[in-house]
Each structure stands twice: as structure tokens, then as C-alpha cells.
């Protein structure tokens, strides 16, 4: 029976590859989920009859558009914009916008696919989608960023709405970009529809703890994985890749819970500070001055900067990849394991390659996949939507408590599901299966749409 199912799943995967040529990240994300689903199709044969996998792998809608804008010299620039609305059976499409030169359809589809199961795992009423552009915000002036965001929203607005599709930030899109996007949406529609975007500034409809939520949430998830193994973060040496939104607040929560974070990075290099990272300095450099992480060592002479260095070679007990997809490969995983790493929680989306994931699972270390571990961001976005709908604003402590409870719930769901389906401790299976079942059941209930 299981061989027949495995063959069927392999056939479905090959069909996805054929139908979506060249979209390697999308293939990778689909394969990773499908590999967990054999026992699910045995338990729920109706998912096969309803062709749930085939339908889930075909986004409901894919929007690609031209984004023309003028730079500060008056030159016309053209970028490409995307919004992929993957699945809306659980609620309006929800997922961030990424502005990065590497963005193309395959990246947005992989992110939207992951997002669908992640959102289901949160238990909140949100569907899955993702968007973005190959626009590179690095080195652009505020005016250029504003003109780009206005042009992007001038096309995208018609596909959005608080009950339709609610974007947020991701790589290259923070509160500044969300502000310009929201301003243009408001201007075009003549509606102050707060719930159409999340990650807004606190003065104009944003939620407290949203900025911190993805990083904090990843550490809450990590803490749960350690707890069930009778361990804690206190005194553990930690490393975090990236120095953006997710990385900064992962470092903050790790430090609050007693971890010693000794290294982080950006796409140019890494900083290693054996005394423990000075987070206030990193925030000043990255959030206020928008500088490179390299500048850290001008202020902290004992620390070292390694251009193009490999972060994963730094010995640690806890590692959090919080930068981008496929940043941690099989060799990196082997190095981490050899150096005594006990736990890895993915703050980024799909940062570990399939070889890396296999190595972690084989070694039996605690491994929290992004779908589960970084779901705190979107969960808090859903809390922002709740506050917008009720014209309310909760305080930080209340929101953080809710976030913590949500992450504990996600951990428990993944943990129990992994056990139920015969792979105890395997959070990859737990997350894929629990997320998939929730979406699949709703798809069956809503009929062929």
C-alpha cells in the first residue's frame, strides 16, 4: 500500500516540476511537503479522490505586473511585481512582500506554498499568499523607495482588501515600505482600511510586538523544543544568521532567556563577538543608520568581521538561520553537529537545504522547520487584523503573551502530529502533516472551487 502511495506522490511531484519549469525553489518546497504525506493519504483516502495535492500545488491566482518608476536622476526604471494567491479556504490570502533582486516567480511560489501550511498551523483564519518584486532597495533614497512603492501599489491595490488579500513585510520590506504602500492604497481607494496591510507603524494601525514577533516566536518555539528534552537556553552559546528584522529580535529574545549570542551576519560577511553581541549597537547600525554589519567592529574592537565568512563554522549549541533560503547546506549541518549543536530553529523560510535537514534529523538534534518556527510573525499579523477590525490596540505584554501561547500551541500540534504519524520528534513531518490536513479538510468541505 505505502509503495503505491509513494509512487503516486512521486508522480504528482514530477507533474509539478513539468508544469512549473525552472522554478527550483518551488519544486524544493513542494517536494519537502509531499515527502511527509504518504501516511496522510493512507489515513484520509478522500484527499486523493478530491485531488487535494494537485489543487494545492496550483495557486488560485498568479499576478505578474510591470512596475515603472523614476529614480532620483529622472531616469525611468522598470521592475517586475508579483502576487501569488495560493489558497484561501481558511481565510483571506496572507503573506509578505519581498523586495530583493533575486525575486522571480519560483521564489514567490515557494514562499506562498510554505505560507499556506504555516498559516494553517497558527490556527488563525488566514489563507496563504506571497508577493514582491526584483526591485533592490539597497542604496536607494527614501524618495526612490516611495516612488517605487507607490507604483507597485497602483497596480496591486485592485487585488487586495481586508477580506481578500492582506500583504505584510518580508526581506527588504519593513515599516517604511509598508507606510508608503498603505498611503498609496488609502489614496487610490479613498478608504482608511487598516486591515489591508500588516506590519504598520504603531501610530497608524500597527500592532505592538509585530516587529518583534517572528524572531521572538522562533525563540519561543526553540525553547519548547528544548523544554521537552529537559533542556533550557540558559548559558547556551548561540549563533544567528542575518541582521535584519527576524535576526535582530531572535537575538533579543535569546539574550532575554539567558542565551549568549556570539555571531550574526549579512550577505557580505559575519561578525563574531566572543563576549556576546551588543544588540543595542546592532539596532543602531541596522535600524537607525541603515549601515552594514561590518561597522560593528569599528565600535567593538575585540570583535572580528569576516568578509564572506561561513557563520556555521562558529562553534555553538544553538543555531538560528534567519536570513534567506538555502543558506545552510549539508556540509554546514555536519559542521554544526560536529561542533556540538543541539538545536536549530529556522527563523527564515527554507534556509536549510534538503541535505542539511536530513543531516539534522539523522543526528537527532532538535530541528524546528520555518513553517512552524517562524509562524509567530504571521500569527501576530493576524492579531493586528483583529485589533484593526475592532478598532483596538493591545499593549505589548498582552500581545507577547498571546504570541507565546500561539507558539506553544504550534509546537504542541507539530509534536503530537509527528508522534501520531509514527515519527516522534520529527517536527518537519509534524508541521507538514498538521498544516496540510487542516487546509485539505477545509478544501473538501468547501467543494470544488
349 binds ligand NDP (CB under 6 A): yes
End-to-end CA distance of the chain: 30
Please select the residue that binds ligand NDP; options are 88, 119, 184, 324, rule is CB under 6 A: 324
Residue whose CB is less far from ligand NDP, 25 or 193: 25
Cα separation of 221 and 225, whole Å? 6
- 6-25 burial by CB neighbour count: b if 16+ within 10 A, else e? eeebeebbeebeeebeebeb
Cα separation of 400 and 404, whole Å? 6
CB 383 within 8 A of CB 359: no
Residue whose CB is less far from ligand NDP, 87 or 352: 352
219 binds ligand NDP (CB under 6 A): no
Please select the residue that binds ligand NDP; options are 225, 226, 285, 322, rule is CB under 6 A: 322
Cα separation of 386 and 448, whole Å? 29
Assign 286 to helix, strand or coil: helix
Interface with ligand NDP: number of residues (CB under 6 A): 23
134 binds ligand NDP (CB under 6 A): no
Cα separation of 369 and 426, whole Å? 10
Residue 32, Cβ neighbours under 10 Å: how many? 20
Beta strands 93-99 and 165-168: pairing type? parallel
131 binds ligand NDP (CB under 6 A): no
CB 154 within 8 A of CB 181: no
214 binds ligand NDP (CB under 6 A): yes
Residue 351, Cβ neighbours under 10 Å: how many? 23
Residue whose CB is less far from ligand NDP, 26 or 44: 26
CB 214 within 8 A of CB 95: no
- Cite the active site residues: 130
Cα separation of 95 and 198, whole Å? 9
Please select the residue that binds ligand NDP; options are 238, 282, 348, 439, rule is CB under 6 A: 348
| Minimum CB distance to ligand NDP, residue 126 (Å) | 13
Residue whose CB is less far from ligand NDP, 122 or 214: 214
CB 13 within 8 A of CB 34: yes
Torsional class of 209: left (φ above 0), alpha (ψ -120 to 50), beta (otherwise): left
Cα separation of 67 and 183, whole Å? 17
Residue whose CB is less far from ligand NDP, 41 or 374: 374
| Minimum CB distance to ligand NDP, residue 401 (Å) | 19
Cell 487586495 identifies what position?
A: 160
| Minimum CB distance to ligand NDP, residue 161 (Å) | 21
Assign 262 to helix, strand or coil: strand
| Minimum CB distance to ligand NDP, residue 200 (Å) | 13
| Minimum CB distance to ligand NDP, residue 8 (Å) | 31
Q: What residue spans of 351-426 are helical by DSSP H?
A: 354-363, 370-373, 376-389, 396-420
Q: Give the range of 9-17, 20-28, 72-80, 236-244 binding ligand NDP by CB under 6 A.
A: 236-244
Residue whose CB is less far from ligand NDP, 205 or 347: 347
Among candidate residues 382, 384, 443, the one with its CA nearest the CA of residue 55: 443
| Minimum CB distance to ligand NDP, residue 268 (Å) | 6
Cα separation of 134 and 136, whole Å? 6
95 binds ligand NDP (CB under 6 A): no
Residue whose CB is less far from ligand NDP, 41 or 320: 320
β partners of residue 76: 70
Q: Give the range of 12-20, 240-248, 270-278, 354-362 binding ligand NDP by CB under 6 A.
A: 240-248
Residue whose CB is less far from ligand NDP, 335 or 371: 371
Grid cell for residue 115: 505560507
326 binds ligand NDP (CB under 6 A): no
CB 140 within 8 A of CB 70: no
Please select the residue that binds ligand NDP; options are 106, 244, 259, 368, rule is CB under 6 A: 244
70 binds ligand NDP (CB under 6 A): no
Please select the residue that binds ligand NDP; options are 119, 194, 374, 387, rule is CB under 6 A: 374
| Minimum CB distance to ligand NDP, residue 218 (Å) | 9
C-alpha 421: how far from its chain's center? 25
267 binds ligand NDP (CB under 6 A): yes
Residue whose CB is less far from ligand NDP, 138 or 362: 138
Beta strands 237-240 and 318-320: pairing type? parallel
φ/ψ of 262, rounded to 5, equals -110, -10
Site string for ligand NDP, 161-200 (x = CB under 6 A): --------xxxx----------------------------
Site string for ligand NDP, 245-264 (x = CB under 6 A): xxx-----------------
| Minimum CB distance to ligand NDP, residue 13 (Å) | 23
Site residues, ligand NDP (CB under 6 A):
169-172, 214, 242-247, 266-268, 322-324, 327, 347-349, 374, 377
Amino acid at each position: 500500500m505505502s509503495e503505491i502511495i509513494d509512487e503516486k506522490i512521486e508522480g504528482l511531484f514530477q507533474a509539478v516540476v513539468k508544469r512549473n519549469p525552472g522554478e527550483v525553489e518551488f519544486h524544493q518546497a513542494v517536494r519537502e511537503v509531499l515527502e511527509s504525506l504518504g501516511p496522510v493519504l493512507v489515513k484520509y483516502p478522500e484527499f486523493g479522490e478530491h485531488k487535494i495535492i494537485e489543487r494545492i500545488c496550483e495557486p488560485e491566482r498568479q499576478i505578474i505586473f510591470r512596475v515603472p518608476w523614476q529614480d532620483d536622476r529622472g531616469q525611468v526604471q522598470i521592475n517586475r511585481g508579483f502576487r501569488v494567491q495560493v489558497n484561501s479556504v481558511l481565510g483571506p490570502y496572507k503573506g509578505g512582500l519581498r523586495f530583493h533582486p533575486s525575486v522571480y516567480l519560483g521564489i514567490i511560489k515557494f514562499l506562498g506554498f510554505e505560507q499556506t501550511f504555516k498559516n494553517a498551523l497558527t490556527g488563525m483564519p488566514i489563507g496563504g499568499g506571497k508577493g514582491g518584486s526584483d526591485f533592490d532597495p539597497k542604496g536607494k533614497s527614501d524618495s526612490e523607495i516611495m516612488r517605487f512603492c507607490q507604483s507597485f501599489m497602483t497596480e496591486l491595490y485592485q487585488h487586495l482588501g481586508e477580506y481578500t488579500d492582506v500583504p505584510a513585510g518580508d526581506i527588504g520590506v519593513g515599516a517604511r515600505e509598508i507606510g508608503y504602500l498603505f498611503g498609496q492604497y488609502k489614496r487610490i481607494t479613498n478608504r482608511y482600511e487598516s486591515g489591508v496591510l500588516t506590519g504598520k507603524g504603531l501610530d497608524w494601525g500597527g500592532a505592538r510586538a509585530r516587529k518583534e514577533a517572528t524572531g521572538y516566536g522562533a525563540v519561543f518555539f526553540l525553547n519548547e523544543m528544548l523544554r521537552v528534552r529537559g533542556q533550557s537556553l540558559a548559558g547556551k552559546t548561540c549563533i544567528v544568521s542575518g541582521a535584519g528584522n527576524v535576526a535582530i529580535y531572535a537575538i533579543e529574545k535569546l539574550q532575554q532567556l539567558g542565551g549568549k549570542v556570539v555571531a550574526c551576519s549579512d550577505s557580505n560577511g559575519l561578525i563574531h563577538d566572543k563576549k556576546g553581541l551588543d544588540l543595542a549597537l546592532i539596532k543602531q547600525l541596522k535600524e537607525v543608520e541603515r549601515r552594514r554589519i561590518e561597522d560593528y567592529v569599528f565600535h567593538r574592537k575585540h570583535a572580528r568581521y569576516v568578509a564572506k565568512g561561513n557563520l556555521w563554522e562558529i562553534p555553538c549549541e544553538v543555531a538560528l538561520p534567519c536570513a534567506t533560503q538555502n543558506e545552510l547546506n549539508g556540509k554546514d549541518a555536519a559542521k554544526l553537529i560536529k561542533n556540538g549543536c543541539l538545536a536549530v530553529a529556522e527563523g527564515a523560510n527554507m534556509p536549510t537545504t534538503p541535505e542539511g535537514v536530513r543531516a539534522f534529523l539523522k543526528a537527532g538534534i532538535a530541528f524546528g522547520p520555518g513553517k512552524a518556527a517562524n509562524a509567530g510573525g504571521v500569527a501576530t499579523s493576524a492579531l493586528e487584523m483583529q485589533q484593526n477590525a475592532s478598532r483596538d490596540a493591545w499593549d505589548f505584554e498582552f500581545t507577547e503573551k498571546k504570541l507565546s501561547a500561539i507558539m506553544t500551541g504550534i509546537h504542541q500540534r507539530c509534536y503530537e502530529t509527528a508522534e501520531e504519524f509514527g515519527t516522534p520528534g520529527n517536527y518537519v513531518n509534524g508541521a507538514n502533516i498538521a498544516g496540510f490536513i487542516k487546509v485539505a479538510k477545509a478544501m473538501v468541505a468547501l467543494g470544488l472551487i
